[in-house]
């Protein structure tokens, strides 16, 4: 009789564990579906754009050049970049003008590309001399557009070089073939038509920074930035950024409630049968 009771107890424990795991899996699916509902994705043809120039770049001849304080200078084709590990995130882009009342100059998109940190690691940057990572459009004249990130910012896990926007090739007006995505900063850091990355040993002031704009322009408007990070390390995000995480904590609570309910029902049925 004791052996029978032991076996029944083990089966009960196993059924509880299985019920909990099934509930957890079910709830994770529901949470994922729920968290993607209501995201204010802005269609590509409705997404705002601001630029001082425009480049029509042929992807077949495009090269992303990475030079400066690096041990392994890079000259990557568009296909080379697309072959690298993919990172995708649904985040908001906001123009600095939004801060001063231009409320239409913000939008949310699913950006897909490769992490900037991955590119920099490929180039084997000199951590002793590197200070700023500078970004340039194909026009390298003094009037060409450029910007920069310091070494810490460049290695944030949410900074990517995007070649897709809302699961479509990045539109030319939004910087095809490559655009820098830096969610924590205002749009003038999100350089379009990126062609050159230089690892500099000096502080660098880009096009707008040289005109008095902040070098590290954290978005400080009351807008969520992150909606559905995919393939990115959420722990790498800055505490200064607003992260949208629907259904916080429910991943454990809801499965637990379901499991308790299933267990109580099973016990009740067993008592009725006995």
Q: Give the tens place of pLDDT for each residue, 179-209.
A: 999 999 999 999 999 999 999 999 999 999 9
236-258 average pLDDT score? 41
Return the pLDDT at 245.
Answer: 34
pLDDT at 234 over 90: no
Return the pLDDT at 271.
Answer: 52
Question: Which one has a higher pLDDT value, 171 or 25?
Answer: 171
Question: Under a CB-based contact definition with an 8 Å cutoff, are residues 18 and 249 in contact?
Answer: no
Q: How confident is the model at residue 113 (pLDDT cuts 50, 70, 90)?
A: very high
Bridge partners for 179 per DSSP: 162
246-260 average pLDDT score? 45
The predicted model scores a pTM of 0.73
Q: How confident is the model at residue 88 (pLDDT cuts 50, 70, 90)?
A: very high
Question: Which one has a higher pLDDT value, 119 or 140?
Answer: 119
- Alpha carbon distance 115, 37 (integer Å): 26
Return the pLDDT at 233.
Answer: 43
235: burial class by Cβ within 10 Å (0-12, 13-18, 19+)? Answer: exposed
- Alpha carbon distance 251, 245 (integer Å): 12
What is the distance of C-alpha 156 from the center of its chain? 10
Return the pLDDT at 37.
Answer: 61
pLDDT at 274 over 50: yes
DSSP secondary structure code for residue 254 in this structure: H
Of 134, 142, 125, nearest to 204 by C-alpha is: 134
Query: What is the average pLDDT score of the chain?
Result: 81
Residue 7 neighbours by CB distance under 10 Å: 10
Q: How confident is the model at residue 140 (pLDDT cuts 50, 70, 90)?
A: confident
51-66 average pLDDT score? 95
Highest mean pLDDT of the ranges 29-43, 110-124, 217-231:
110-124
Among 29-33, 83-87, 170-174, the range scoring the smallest mean pLDDT is 29-33
102-108 average pLDDT score? 95
């Amino acid at each position: 009789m004791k052996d029978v009771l032991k076996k029944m107890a083990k089966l009960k424990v196993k059924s509880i564990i299985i019920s909990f795991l099934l509930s957890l899996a079910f709830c994770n699916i529901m949470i994922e579906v729920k968290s993607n509902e209501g995201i204010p994705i802005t269609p590509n043809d409705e997404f705002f754009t601001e630029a001082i120039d425009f480049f029509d770049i042929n992807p077949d001849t495009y090269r992303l050049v990475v030079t400066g304080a690096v041990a392994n200078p890079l000259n990557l084709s568009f296909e080379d970049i697309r072959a690298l590990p993919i990172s995708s995130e649904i985040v908001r882009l906001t123009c600095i003008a939004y801060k001063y009342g231009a409320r239409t100059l913000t939008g949310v998109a699913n950006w897909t590309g490769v992490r900037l940190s991955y590119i920099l690691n490929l180039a084997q940057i000199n951590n002793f001399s590197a200070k700023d990572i500078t970004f340039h459009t194909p026009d390298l004249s003094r009037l060409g557009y450029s910007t920069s990130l310091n070494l810490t910012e460049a290695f944030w896990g949410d900074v990517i070089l995007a070649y897709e926007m809302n699961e479509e090739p990045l539109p030319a007006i939004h910087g095809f073939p490559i655009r820098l995505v830096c969610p924590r900063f205002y749009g003038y850091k999100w350089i379009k038509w990126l062609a050159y990355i230089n690892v500099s040993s000096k502080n660098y002031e880009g096009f707008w920074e040289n005109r008095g704009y902040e070098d590290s322009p954290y978005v400080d408007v009351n807008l969520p930035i992150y909606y559905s990070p995919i393939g990115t390390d959420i722990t790498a995000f800055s505490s200064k950024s607003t992260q949208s995480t629907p259904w916080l904590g429910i991943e454990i609570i809801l499965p637990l409630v379901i499991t308790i309910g299933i267990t109580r029902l099973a016990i009740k049925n067993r008592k009725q049968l006995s």
